[in-house]
Structure 1
Amino acid sequence: MPRTRTLQDEQLLEMVLALIHDEGPDAASFGAVAKVSGLSGSTLVQRFGTKAAMLRAALMHAWDGLDAETAKLAASSEKTPGGAVALLTGLSQDYGEDAAAYAQGLLVLREDFRDPLLRARGAAWAKALTEALAECLSAAPDPATSARLMLSQWQGSLLWWGFTAEGRAADYVERELRLFLGVLDLKALV
């Protein structure tokens, strides 16, 4: 008879993600995860096989969460340029005023780029997010291109906010995206 799991996969993957975000992906060894989870290293090896597989599982779990949050925000945002700003601002909330947390997120992004499955997951998310933004930017001459440019502006504004740590990330992003929409001549629609 198989033993009952003391931690469900989702709980364990959340612990791995917390460790990754606190100390970086390289810190997520079987020993470190065993320490925070209370499971033995051999149990972790049985579940995941390798450290790389454990890291991939945790990051795929994170993508699941981001996909769900994106879908929720896309469904609740008005289909206007202001709704596009609200969607991207909502996706920026987690950083608060903590530029160091954003920097840790960039280390995680490095892992997504390195792994073909994680990279494909990111590409699928970008496609879904572009489509959601294009719905909000339907008044633009080319909604799909405007959406892609807005995504670039969003990511760039997060990067520049990381250097200045000027207030809350979401407030900085909102201000920058409204300036962007003004340049696209969609400001009146915000």
Structure 2
Amino acid sequence: MGRPRSISDDVILDAALSLLMAKGEGAVSFGAVSKACGLAPPTLVQRYGDRSGMLRAALRRGWARQGEAADAAAAAEETAQGFLKLLGAEDLLPLVVASRSDPEAAALAAAWRADVERVLMAKQGCRADAAAILFAAWQGRLLWEAAGGAGFKLKDAARRLG
């Protein structure tokens, strides 16, 4: 029987996610995660097998968190614009970029997007294609605002699609 885990997977995966969000996928290594959570690199190897296994587990945790945030935002807001505003997106770009190279993470990302689009359909009272356009407009606006560009008002796009 193995000894009890002194540092939970949640703590380790939170450390890996923090590195991913702050510095990108390349920053997630056994050495960096070890420093961040205080667990020896060989122990991380025992738990996750290799770097991609640890990164995959961190991405699963990240998408689960995004799902929880979407559920909370959907319950708290009645409008599509309010839902998207409350949902935020600070953590999305690093998750999306890192998820592209892993089929499991890419599937989680696609499922999250589909869930968000279903909420938009319900709150906006629109068809699936209009919800997809609203989602894309929201993501595009956030991306370009992060790059310093002026964005359009999401409520104007929502009004036109409704």
Q: Partners in 1 of 2:114 and 2:27 — Cα distance?
A: 31
Normalised TM-score (structure 2): 0.91
1:57 partner amino acid: A
Residues 92-130 of structure 1 deviation map (CA, whole Å, 9 limit, x = unaligned)? 2x64xxxxxx7xx53442221111001111111111111
**How many aligned positions are there?**
162
2:120 is paired with a residue of what secondary structure?
helix
Instruction: After superposition, give the CA deviation of every residue in 1:131-157 in whole Å (9 maximum; x if it has no partner).
Output: 11101122x4xx222211100110110
> Secondary structure of the equivalent of 2:147?
helix
Counterpart of 1:68 in structure 2 is 68
Paired residues for 1:136-155 under 5 Å: 136-138=123-125, 140=126, 143-155=127-139
Summarize the alignment of residues 15-164 of structure 1 with structure 2, pairs less than 5 Å apart.
Answer: 15-78=15-78, 83-92=79-88, 95=90, 106-138=93-125, 140=126, 143-164=127-148
Q: Deviations over 1:157-190 (max 9, x none)?
A: 0112012266xxxxx6xx6211212333x4xxxx
Tell me how far 1:90 sits from its aligned partner.
Answer: 1.1
Structure 1: runs of 5+ lacking an equivalent = 96-101, 167-171
Bigger radius of gyration among the two: 1
Three-state SS of the structure 1 residue aligned to 2:2 is coil
The runs of 5 or more residues in structure 2 that have no matched partner are none
Aligned to 1:99: none
Q: Residue 42 of structure 1 aligns to a residue in which SS?
A: helix
Secondary structure of the residue aligned to 1:2 is coil
Question: Matches of 1:181 and 1:23 in 2, distance apart?
Answer: 33
What is the CA–CA distance in structure 1 between the aligned matches of 2:13 and 2:53, rounded to whole Å?
A: 12
Q: What is the aligned-residue identity percentage? A: 33
Bigger relative CO (Cα 8 Å, ≥ 6 apart): 1
How far apart are residue 23 of structure 1 and its match? 2.0
**TM-score, structure 1 length as denominator?**
0.78
